[in-house]
Amino acid sequence: MKMIRNRLAVQLQRHVLQMSMSTNAAAAAAPAEGAAISEFRTAVTNPGEHSALQVAKFYTIPAEQKKQIFAGGGLPKQYEQQIKTFTEACLMVRNPALEVLEYIKKADLSKPVVRYLLYGENGTGKTLTMAHVLHYGALNDFLLVHVPWAPNWMKRPKEASNAAGQEGMIDLPFDAAAWLVHFKGQNSKLLQRLELKTSKEYVWSKRESTPAGSTLLELVEHGIARIKYASETTAALISELKLLSTAGKCKVMVAIDGYNAFFHPVTRIFSDNKQRVTPDKITLTHPFLNITRYDWTNGVCILSVDKIAMTEGHMDSYMPRYLLGTEGFEHLDPFVPIHVENYSDKEFHSYISYYLDRHWINKTPQGFEEQLKFMSNKNPYALMQLVRAL
Amino acid sequence: MSFLTRIVGKSTSFSGIRLMSVYPQHYVEPIVQKDKQIEQKDELTKLHHIPIKAALNKSSDTVFHDDTKEKLLNYITKKGNSALARTLLSKAFELIKRTQTERLNLAKGDKDKVITNAEVLLKQAVENCRPLLQVTAIKRGGVTYQVPVPITTKRSYFLAMKWLLEAAREKERKVSLPEKLAWEILDAAHGQGRVVKRKDDLHRQCEANRAYAHYRWS
């Protein structure tokens, strides 16, 4: 009798599994028609309207917005690949992002800027949380000052040369120009609309200068065209942004991923006497340290500290105090720490159904979800790695 | 296979031959998969007093396990570095899934036709590459003849996987093994590609040399 009951239970479970799979198959066709929406998706595509109702649900970033915000980086490479494969840019609404969004919405912008610091284990979704917040910023007329991955400058710069005028400093002209292109791509529409003007004249050389009262767009374009002066242009642009936002002419959202790279003991850049330089000897570091101070208003700072922004020997803990070091911690103090954690049960389940919906998981034996949960410890990146061969 | 036939098969056939096994002949193979255990529950009760071999170290009952996959992993492995082999194969599977999923999303109309399951595709590929015959060199009267001989199922699977891997390893240095392996598997699964051609060539040679077939026994 017991055996029969067992067998019945197994059959029932299989039946339910098949049913759920068939509904998934139906859901795959749904977004194209725009009709029914599966339970793990939400139709609210404006991050400003996300609330606890949408937790663990996927929202789609429209293609043109994604192109505007993330064309120059900002999403992890493997996530970009996933987006390409699934032919839709979906982000899961998660608690850390909601927390930041709520703080930003309620914050009084006339007060000095608040620094939000994302921290957490490897692969928990700090960058994607930042992406979610960036999307909010882009839709709500924030000027984005976004560094997709700061350690790139310290670890693998395109070119390093001695800075003109500043003794012992090192310029990263190509990286600075690339960042300016990224800034222009993200903000060109808003910059054209706001018509922000520079406050003073910038003299680059004997023949070149940017007069006071020229638009920020002109300043940026000059930096892109004259790569030699890109680093100085970046510094000028950021100090202008600080002045303008303090004057109330614009709102600025600063988002720097891998912020602790600015406080790493050494970089992989060599100076003339074959010595590794420290990050504060790089001209590009200073403007971004400058804009993360709290001496300006009308802005928000979202920063993230990451273990993999450091190098071997400095990756023992993911805590901000350890990663930033004394100097960095004092620079940033006081900040709002936001812990990005592994998936909750609900989020995990939602992600699995998303993978099933996108035909990314093809094997569904009994209890596979439990196995994946156990193996990945509900860590988003680990889950991504585990399901790639399923 | 029911357990009785298994036991009978073990005890009668090859009773005179000593097999290379630590287990005596009457030991039966273990059933590792949980769903199979449940399926054959009433039969298993009869096994109470029959000794069972210990399960293999590598055998498992997880989503990640697949017999064909494990076999191919053994062939990919070099110098015992099976961890590397596993990452290579899972990368290849990922690439297969990527191409197939993109194809699925671009497909108009019949979406069920596109298989996104990489393991199924691998099995299809291996099935398509399996030879029925092979040729061996046999010397008769001072002349060596290429004589077609039938091969066992096991060897045919071995050859299919070996050929797939050989085709994957024959590449430019810039191309990674997972990439090439993914292409070869996808090609072979659709009945095209170099490996299927290799099999067909072998069959053709066997067909051409069928006049020598009797040298196998005379």
Which ipTM value was assigned to this complex? 0.77
H or E segment to which residue B138 belongs = strand B133-140
Report how far apart, in Å, the C-alpha atoms of B158 and of each of A32, A368, B90 are: 44, 30, 20
CB-based contact B119 A388, cutoff 8 Å = no
Do residues B74 and B167 share a domain? yes
pLDDT of residue A16: 45
Do residues B45 and B72 share a domain? no
CB-based contact A389 B118, cutoff 8 Å = yes
- The mean predicted confidence, pLDDT, of chain A is 83
Flag whether B148 is in a domain: yes
SS3 state of residue A230: helix
Do residues B79 and B33 share a domain? no
Flag whether B169 is in a domain: yes
Flag whether B57 is in a domain: no
Q: Are B199 and B166 in contact (CB under 8 A)?
A: no
pLDDT tens for A291-320 read: 888 888 888 989 999 888 888 888 888 888
Do residues B81 and B39 share a domain? no
Flag whether B58 is in a domain: no
Instruction: Say how far apart CA B178 and CA B122 lie, in whole Å.
Output: 13
Q: Counting Cβ atoms within 10 Å, is residue A275 exposed (0-12), middle (13-18) or buried (19+)?
A: exposed
The tokens for B16 are 């005179």
Looking at the structure of chain B, the number of domains it has is 2
pLDDT of residue A155: 86
Chains A & B: contacts with CB separation below 8 Å: 59
H or E segment to which residue A190 belongs = helix A173-194
Those residues of chain B whose CB sits closer than 8 Å to some CB in chain A are: 34-35, 38, 41-42, 62-64, 89-91, 93-94, 97-98, 101-102, 104-105, 111, 116-120
CB-based contact A84 B93, cutoff 8 Å = no
Do residues B195 and B118 share a domain? yes
Positions in chain B short of pLDDT 50: 1, 4, 7-14
pLDDT of residue A86: 84
- Domain that includes residue B24, residue range: 3-49
pLDDT tens for A90-122 read: 889 999 999 998 998 888 888 888 899 999 988
Do residues B87 and B195 share a domain? yes
Counting Cα atoms < 13 Å in the Cβ hemisphere of A233 gives: 31
Closest residue of B to A386, CA-based?
A: B64
CATH number (domain holding residue B154): 1.10.455.10
pLDDT beyond 50 at A9: no
SS3 state of residue A49: helix
Least confident residue range of A76-80, A211-215, B146-150: A211-215
pLDDT of residue B50: 87
Q: Give A27's pLDDT tier (boundaries 50, 70, 90).
A: very low
pTM as predicted: 0.80
Residue whose pair of structure tokens reads 């691998």 in the numeric block:
B122
Residue whose pair of structure tokens reads 């197939």 in the numeric block:
B100
A213: left (phi over 0), alpha (psi -120 to 50) or beta: left
DSSP class of residue A259 equals: G
SS3 state of residue A254: strand
pLDDT beyond 80 at A5: no
Q: Give A200's pLDDT tier (boundaries 50, 70, 90).
A: confident
pLDDT beyond 70 at A336: yes
The domains of chain A, with CATH numbers, are 24-93+344-389 (no CATH), 95-339 (3.40.50)
Instruction: Say how far apart CA B199 and CA B164 lie, in whole Å.
Output: 11
pLDDT of residue A36: 55
Q: Counting Cβ atoms within 10 Å, is residue B93 exposed (0-12), middle (13-18) or buried (19+)?
A: buried
Per-residue pLDDT, averaged over A1-14, amounts to 47
Closest residue of B to A363, CA-based?
A: B63
Q: What type of residue sits at position A356?
A: L
Do residues B83 and B24 share a domain? no
pLDDT of residue A362: 86
Do residues B35 and B119 share a domain? no
Do residues B183 and B149 share a domain? yes
CB-based contact B42 A3, cutoff 8 Å = yes
The tokens for A112 are 């000095």
pLDDT of residue B17: 55
pLDDT of residue B18: 57
CB-based contact B41 A358, cutoff 8 Å = no
Point out the residue among A3, A87, A365 whose CB comes nearest to the CB of B63. A365
Q: Are B165 and B178 in contact (CB under 8 A)?
A: no
pLDDT of residue B16: 53
pLDDT of residue B19: 61
Do residues B132 and B89 share a domain? yes
Per-residue pLDDT, averaged over A331-336, amounts to 88
Q: Are A16 and A346 in contact (CB under 8 A)?
A: no
Instruction: Say how far apart CA B128 and CA A303 lie, in whole Å.
Output: 54
Do residues B138 and B38 share a domain? no
Contacts of B99 in chain A (CB under 8 A): none
Q: In chain A, what percentage of residues exceed pLDDT 90? A: 7
Per-residue pLDDT, averaged over A339-355, amounts to 90
Do residues B93 and B192 share a domain? yes
Q: What residues are paired with A59 via a beta bridge?
A: A91
CB-based contact B102 A85, cutoff 8 Å = yes
